[in-house]
Amino acid sequence: MSHEDHDHLRCRKLAESMTAYIDDDLTPDDRLLIDKHLGECGGCHNYLDQMQHTIDTIKALRGSAPAPETRAKLLGLFRQWKQDREDC
């Protein structure tokens, strides 16, 4: 990954890492990049908030993490949301 990619983590890239981020399954470097992007991009920040909240709610209700297909659905929603905002 070039230095420029680090400086300009795109929303699309963040979408790819979103579930890993929530699962705390990223390298510290990747996590920092996402945190940085979230600090600069209100849209992604809000969406991650919502997604995190949804997953927390599911966890509280079920007593366990949501099934992978549930998270895949959430990620699909995020990708769709991003496609409507291609200029981000």
The one among 20, 41, 65, 75 contacting Zn ion by CB under 5 A: 41
Positions 47 through 86 that interact with Zn ion (CB under 5 A): none
Part in contact with Zn ion (CB under 5 A); list of ranges 1-9, 19-27, 44-52, 59-67:
44-52
The one among 9, 11, 48, 74 contacting Zn ion by CB under 5 A: 11
Helix axes 42-62, 28-40, angle to 10 degrees: 120
Rule CB under 5 A: is residue 44 a binding residue for Zn ion? yes
CA 50 to chain centre: 10
Nearer Cβ to Zn ion (18/55): 18
**43: which 2 tokens?**
């849209």
Exposed, middle or buried: residue 64 (CB in 10 Å: 0-12, 13-18, 19+)?
exposed
DSSP 26: S
Give residues in contact with Zn ion (CB under 5 A). Answer: 11, 41, 44
